[in-house]
A and B are shown apart, each in its own frame.
Chain A
Amino acid sequence: MTGAVVSHAPHLLDVRDLVVEFHTRDGIARVINGASFHVNAGETLAVLGESGSGKSVTAQAVMGILDAPPAVIRAGQILYNGRDLLTMADADRRTVRGAEIAMVFQDALSALNPVLPVGWQIAEAMRVREGKSKAEAMTRAIGLMERVRIPAARERVRDYPHQFSGGMRQRVMIAMALALNPKVLIADEPTTALDVTVQAQIMDLLADLQRDTGMALILITHDLGVVATVADRIAVMYAGRIVEHADVHALYERPAHPYTRALIDSIPRQQARTQVLKTIKGLPPNLTRIPPGCPFHPRCPIRQDICTTLLPPSVDLGGGRTSACHFASEVLDGRL
């Protein structure tokens, strides 16, 4: 600290006004258009959105593994403990990556090296980063495998990824991410490739691990059902922008953005078995040609004239709630 009195402690991870573009043959795709969110120790933030809403790119930008080119970070800050990862020297950033902020990938089959035993892969970071001996790192790797509840960890440590089931592979990925005791764990669609019962197990595991370690968890998903049980807060993404941000219960009870409301309405419910499943009409916008005004307006059921011309700013609705809709309070109150 440099003597200056800070009124409030900085967030553990604070992403501010992030803008990421992809320079493609078809033009410039604005994948992230000023996304802001933050997360603190012990908290779970769910980043929710359809395919192509920019969820995974956000994670990759935080981790510093965007393929550049074609990706360009145009603007914004990614503050970790108040230090901007984007302006940090490469060497400093490497010390943050893995040890402070780790990531669990969507598809464990492609995120595990097929020709290396899983124990070796879990142990590697500890050998490279912490200088542990092979035997020591391997013992720790077994400990981690037991911690993510892989049965017979001691026997399975030298098995290869293809010898594990999908759920077990995802556990191996989680063990790998936990190897350096990160403060922030980003899980990018950790359950998408799994069947429903295994999904629930993995979510439980992540929630337990988070409670035990007190780390911050950022859960990237398109599945509202998955987040309801584990997340504290939800940030809803649409066309590279956070359109609504709220406490999980508040959001489920009374969404403040028509997109969020449409998402909640399209969850299949058992009671309504005879009814036709509600869907959101249309497709997410082509990111090289984002519509003017509110990007959601072509699909919005409560669209007004202003929506086609003016981009709605993020409105603070109190209690940490924000919504980027011209009619946020009307939607919240159920008047529209």
Chain B
Amino acid sequence: MSSGAVPTQADEAVAERARSLSGDAWHDLRRSAVFWTATALVVLMSLIAAFPGLFSAIDARTAACSLTDSLRAPDANHWFGFDKQGCDVYSRVIYGARSSVLVGIFSTLITGVVALFVGMLAGFYGRWIDTILARVTDIFLGIPPLLGAVVVAKALSGQELGIWPVVLALGLLGWPSPARVIRSSVIAARHQDYVNAARILGASNGRLMFRHILPNALAPMVVVLTIMLGTFIAFEATLSFLGVGPRNTISWGVDIAEAQRWIRDASLPLMFPAGFLTATVLAFIMLGDAIREAFDPRLR
């Protein structure tokens, strides 16, 4: 080779140019309006979840609500008006973000890790490993998620565990469908010649799974997981609505459940938490869609 062992300037330029898949994806994402809109929303919601005090002068956890304010219309100091109990809706929406966003993120993390592990092993190794894992997946898929979540949340309730019983319940019941998606895309990729080619050139099983097959399975996985993140947030609201959600916690679900009873008298106490819920779910789905597109070079 003419270029020898000493790296020349040209070599460094090459290394810089030879960006990774994530580098190329970032290059694409930077120019995507959908990505920035979704990111802004997600960042905003995360900030609200992390530091609610920055956004609301009233601390909804300790505020004294007065029944004389019940269902009062918005004014300059109380932008979203008051709910049936006479509490400030704006501060409750702000303080309710934390449990919703955290439930969504942590449930998705658990789901993603379990689904990736199960789907990858079942799809890559096939045979008896696949048979066993596929049956276990089917069993979990047979459990109605809402019912299962109610049981888990109920069993762990009364122990002041905050959002964790809900996170655990959703995480453990959510993984089967993404696992099946990952398994099928792994099976589709496993028999491609490029996997054979990489194996011939000496790639280990781990390398085949994570460097060659996973990037091909990433796109459908990201889509399923971001949609699930949205549904998990909605699920948390449902569980709160059913009275088995996070205990002693303010959440959008609790407020929606409460407000829908008075919708004919005042719709705003329902609209604001529901609007925030919808916006958050939408932001995560949009973010997932943008990321998926950026990570799939075939779509460029």
Contact = CB atoms under 8 A, between A and B. Distances in A.
Interface in B254-300: 295-298, 300
Given A110-B192, A114-B298, A124 B1 contact: no
A311 B106 CA distance: 68
B18 A117 contact: yes
A94 B192 contact: no
**Do most interface residues of chain B lie in helix, strand or loop, or is the interface mixed?**
helix
Nearest to B13: A154
A107 interface: yes
B297 A162 contact: yes
Interface residues of B, number: 39
B216 A128 contact: no
Given A113-B212, A160-B297, A135 B201 contact: no
A157 interface: yes
Interface in B177-234: 191-194, 196-204, 207, 211-212, 215-216, 218
B154 interface: no
B125 to A, nearest CB: 13
B216 A113 contact: yes
A272 B244 CA distance: 85
A110 B200 contact: no
B1 A143 contact: yes
Nearest to B3: A139
B19 interface: yes
Nearest to B217: A115
Interface size class of A (residues with CB under 8 A): 35 or more
B15 interface: yes
A124 B203 contact: yes
A252 B5 CA distance: 49
B199 A65 contact: yes
A97 B7 CA distance: 29
Given A114-B298, A158-B18, A128 B194 contact: no
Contact of B15 (A67, A134, A173): A134
Contacts of A105: 193, 196-197
Interface of A: 63, 65, 67, 94, 97-99, 102-103, 105-107, 110-117, 119-121, 124-125, 128-129, 134-136, 138-140, 142-143, 154, 157-158, 160, 162, 173, 176, 179-180
Interface of B: 1-3, 5, 7, 11-12, 14-15, 17-21, 24, 191-194, 196-204, 207, 211-212, 215-216, 218, 295-298, 300
